[in-house]
Amino acid sequence: MLLASAVVVWEWLNEHGRWRPYSPAVSHHIEAVVRAGPRAGGSVVLGQVDSRLAPYIIDLHSMNQFRQDTGTLRPVRRNYYDPSSAPGKGVVWEWENDSGSWTPYDMEVGITIQHAYEKQHPWVDLTSIGFSYIIDFGTMGQINRQTQRQRRVRRRLDLIYPMVTGSLPKPQSWPVSPASPASPPGPPCACPQCVLVMSVKAAVAQGGTTPQPAAATRKNTVPLSGTVKLPSAPGPAAKPLDGMGTTRGPGKTTPAQGIRRQATSTVAGTVVGSPASPPGADSKAGRVALATLSRNNLQRLAIAQSRVLIASGVPTVPVKNLNGSSPVNPALAGITGILMSAAGLPVCLTRPPKLVLHPPPVSKSEIKSIPGVSNTSRKTTKKQAKKGKTPEEVLKKYLQKVRHPPEEDCTICMERLTAPSGYKGPQPTVKPDVVGKLSRCGHVYHIYCLVAMYNNGNKDGSLQCPTCKTIYGVKTGTQPPGKMEYHLIPHSLPGHPDCKTIRIIYSIPPGIQGPEHPNPGKSFSARGFPRHCYLPDSEKGRKVLKLLLVAWDRRLIFAIGTSSTTGESDTVIWNEVHHKTEFGSNLTGHGYPDANYLDNVLAELAAQGISEDSTAQEKD
């Protein structure tokens, strides 16, 4: 068997291309829905197990996480890890962020730290897995190798992630029911895929090679992607693999992450477990026979198998790219495909699209100003509300008094309009039974309730109807001070080959929250700045840029709150105006091509009270 048992960790892809684990409780919840089969409906409501995830639903058919209030989609995956690793023991490693709360490491990082901790190493260097940090177990601190900045880390115990055991189920549409009875073996299939798989199995059993198709003699390597890792076969000639695909010397053990496999969303609904040995075949003998094949023979087998599978329309299972300094070559991926196919799981090895966040390097001489847009940067500071006007005076210009209120409820206090307001907070100066109608939309409320609502908001001289969201006056936000830069670069976005690209760079430093923010006087963090965003240099793209400049001046692009990505509080977050932060791809939903993006962002700006008329207002 490839894997007798494993722990299942459900993960989601953030905007930086990192797979972030759901908590053990959430993973158990998702796994329960998966195992319930079709009667569960194929959707997982995450708010049922974690109230902080109330807006999120996972669609198991498309393997996407959907945020109901913003419409954001993010890929999810069902990942497998060794039961002896950190998730199999309920161990979670976390680092302390600037707000004093704790953020869990990515699963692969946490496993690496736990493995070193169990070996009683004094410290572990994370550079080998792409992070410039050292974890010092003596001080329980994280040290940035470049800046020498230190943060606290901690190790805590949580639930153990769900466990799966047994043989790999036959491929079928989602979901796979673990209780489904195995169907009796039928006659062998004569399709090209099965013929090839049977010939591979025969070659493995005999320790020889298989007849090669003519096309398979080309010296191509197998394209690789995703993640499938296998432990080395036991024996004196085999050295165990570590989590990065490198070999270790004799006598060293295999880290936990070295024997993990992944079921990705590339095959929607395919549930990968642990495959059983083919009927009538000795798995140990098969491994020994495979070990006797030369590298060229293994590569030819993998190439031939992939071509036959692609031609027969078999879904793909990506495999992690093992090229580079590692001595593990693409032949290992070929072995993976052969063994998985022999176990009954049809696979072929493919190369997925790559995440392209930034354009090619651009020199200063290539950066140009944008025609029709003045300057190349804009700073913003806190704008003070107009003084000398009471809330009653501000609202007076938007309201008409109603002498005979209708027999309906005030949607703010939920009391009848014919009765006094039910608001119980600080007392406005108006009488609680006075009713007013908003001049443009015509919705009717207690003026007492409207004054209270205004006092609880930004108090910037504007009012937004709580029913239809019509904005009266000029709406402003609570964006902290920062800088917005914008210019042209000589590269085209996917889907916009006929024009250059407008690049926007937002820079906001950390600071102290003001009276308009959630926690006045407390510090706030600013992660991921400077943030680079992209628009096509088309007529509509320039229109969006001009309106974004208005939104920036009105402090509506960012806010301070809790990040939906990391869960960190008191940090700078986007404020309901979506931006494209991927330059050359659209893997996270924040890139191009996206035919509807410009129209969608214009609608989002309009919902903030920003339209073409706003640019004229700003000039006035």
Beta bridge partners of 444: 437
Residue 180 DSSP code: P
**CA of residue 376 relative to chain centroid, distance:** 32
Beta bridge partners of 59: 43, 64
Q: Which CATH number is associated with domain 476-617?
A: 3.30.390.130
What is the spatial order of strands in the sheet that 399-402 belongs to?
A: 399-402, 435-438, 444-446
Q: At what angle do helices 612-619 and 539-553 cross, to 10 degrees?
A: 50
Averaged confidence pLDDT in the chain: 74
Q: Is the dihedral of CA 489, 490, 491, 497 positive or negative?
A: positive
Of 193, 208, 390, the residue nearest 304 (C-alpha): 193
With a cut of 60, say whether residue 346 has pLDDT above it. no
Q: What is the pLDDT of residues 157-192, one digit of tens each?
A: 988 999 887 653 333 334 444 444 434 444 444 544
Q: Which CATH number is associated with domain 91-157?
A: 3.30.720.50
Q: For residue 344, name the pLDDT band (cuts at 50, 70, 90).
A: low
User: Residues 169, 273: contact at Cβ < 8 Å?
Assistant: yes
What does residue 304 show for φ and ψ, rounded to 5 degrees?
A: -60, -45
Residue 147, pLDDT score: 83
User: Residues 77, 10: contact at Cβ < 8 Å?
Assistant: yes
User: Residues 593, 494: contact at Cβ < 8 Å?
Assistant: yes
Question: How do the domains of the chain map onto residue ranges?
Answer: 1-90+163-168, 91-157, 391-472, 476-617
Q: What is the pLDDT of residues 193-246, one digit of tens each?
A: 444 445 544 554 554 443 343 333 333 333 333 333 333 333 333 333 333 333
Pick the more confident residue, 509 or 165. Answer: 509
Residue 601, pLDDT score: 94
Residue 406, pLDDT score: 92
Beta bridge partners of 485: 377, 505
CATH 3.40.50.720 fits 391-472, yes or no: no
Residue 206, pLDDT score: 52
* Residue environment code for 120-145, b if the CB has 16+ CB neighbours within 10 A, otherwise e: eeeebbbeebebebbbebeeebbbee
Pick the more confident residue, 518 or 37. Answer: 518
pLDDT (mean) for 547-565: 92
Residue 612, pLDDT score: 84
- Give the tokens for residue 94: 């976390």
Residue 356, pLDDT score: 85
With a cut of 80, say whether residue 597 has pLDDT above it. yes
Q: For residue 63, name the pLDDT band (cuts at 50, 70, 90).
A: confident
Pick the more confident residue, 452 or 3. Answer: 452
∠ CA 248-253-255, nearest 5°, is 90
With a cut of 60, say whether residue 329 has pLDDT above it. no
pLDDT (mean) for 258-269: 36
Q: Which CATH number is associated with domain 1-90+163-168?
A: 3.30.720.50
Q: What is the pLDDT of residues 386-430, one digit of tens each?
A: 555 788 888 888 999 898 999 999 988 889 999 998 887 776 678
Residue 223, pLDDT score: 36
Of 195, 227, 220, the residue nearest 317 (C-alpha): 227
Task: Write down the residue that tokens 């013929």 correspond to.
Answer: 195
Q: What is the pLDDT of residues 510-522, one digit of tens each?
A: 999 998 898 999 9
Question: Rounded CA gap, 568 and 520, in Å?
Answer: 17
* DSSP codes of every residue in 244-312: TS-B--TTPPPPGGGG-BEE-TTSTTPPP--PPPPTT--HHHHHHHHHHS-HHHHHHHHHHHHHHHHHT
Question: Rounded CA gap, 478 and 576, in Å?
Answer: 13
Q: For residue 319, name the pLDDT band (cuts at 50, 70, 90).
A: very low
1-90+163-168 and 91-157 have identical folds: yes
